[in-house]
């Protein structure tokens, strides 16, 4: 691992298998195929109307086009940065959100206080979860070198991380992953926009973190 998973890749590999490129519309009687130039505004309309994050599959079904066309159109829309909104991807879920450069003005408009800054302990824990999710508490503690129960509770309470599963190992420890709220907090369009992990003494940081996390798994 350990760049955060690219959303599209995750979708293709983890959720729906190899790229199916199927046209859902073919199974919907009365649905006309959407023209290329109409697809971007249509996706915008769907995302505006969606009460919550929509999956790529839901968008494809509603637009009557293939998953691949939705993916490529979403990528095109994400590349345009002159708008007041951005397309946010978390896993295979997509939603529209305001552009981060207008955060202050939007916050004022919504009457929101700026959220309190994260502490060093929270940032370290969040970094582990974000860069190598899913992560168990033992893995996080092996990397940080200190007990993390308190800071995990804090991050869970703020909705920045959530339990995404359980490790198939002794004790079935809980695995933590990031939430869309994390992207909103930092104003990111996807986990790909997290600052890149560097290298320490010539060794990729991701490898170092993996090795420490593996030591925790060995201990289990």
State the Cα–Cα distance between residues 56 and 14, nearest whole angstrom.
13
Shortest separation between residue 109's beta carbon and another protein, angstroms: 7
State the Cα–Cα distance between residues 21 and 66, nearest whole angstrom.
5
Q: Is 1 in the site for another protein (CB under 8 A)?
A: no
CB of 175 within 8 A of CB of 165?
A: yes
Between 2 and 66, whose beta carbon lies closer to another protein?
2
Q: Is 112 in the site for another protein (CB under 8 A)?
A: yes
**β partners of residue 55:** 93
Stretch of 19-27, 64-72, 75-83, 94-102 contacting another protein, by CB under 8 A:
94-102
Q: Is 186 in the site for another protein (CB under 8 A)?
A: yes
Ranges within 16-45 binding another protein (CB under 8 A) = none
Q: Is 92 in the site for another protein (CB under 8 A)?
A: no
* Contact code string over 52-91 relative to another protein, x by CB under 8 A: ---------------------------------xx-x---
Between 75 and 203, whose beta carbon lies closer to another protein?
203
Between 168 and 201, whose beta carbon lies closer to another protein?
201
Pairing of strands 85-90, 203-204: unpaired
Beta strands in the chain (DSSP E): 54-55, 85-90, 93-98, 135-136, 161-166, 174-178, 199-200, 203-204
**What is the Cα 79 distance to its own chain's centre?**
17
């Amino acid at each position: 691992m350990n760049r955060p998973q690219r959303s599209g890749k995750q979708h293709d590999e983890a959720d729906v298998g190899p790229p199916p490129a199927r046209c859902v519309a073919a199974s919907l009687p009365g649905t006309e195929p959407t023209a290329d130039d109409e697809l971007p505004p249509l996706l915008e309309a769907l995302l505006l109307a969606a009460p919550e994050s929509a999956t790529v599959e839901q968008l494809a079904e509603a637009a009557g086009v293939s998953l691949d066309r939705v993916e490529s159109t979403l990528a095109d829309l994400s590349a345009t940065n002159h708008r007041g909104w951005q397309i946010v991807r978390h896993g295979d879920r997509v939603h529209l959100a305001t552009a981060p450069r207008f955060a202050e003005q939007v916050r004022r408009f919504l009457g929101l206080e700026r959220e309190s800054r994260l502490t060093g302990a929270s940032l370290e824990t969040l970094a582990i979860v974000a860069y190598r999710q899913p992560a168990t508490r033992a893995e996080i503690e092996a990397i940080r070198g200190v007990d993390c129960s308190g800071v995990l509770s804090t991050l869970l309470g703020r909705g920045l991380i959530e339990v995404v599963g359980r490790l198939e190992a002794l004790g079935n420890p809980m695995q933590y992953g990031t939430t869309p709220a994390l992207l909103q907090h930092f104003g990111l369009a996807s986990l790909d926009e997290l600052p890149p992990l560097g290298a320490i003494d010539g060794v990729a940081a991701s490898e170092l973190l993996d090795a420490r996390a593996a030591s925790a798994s060995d201990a289990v």
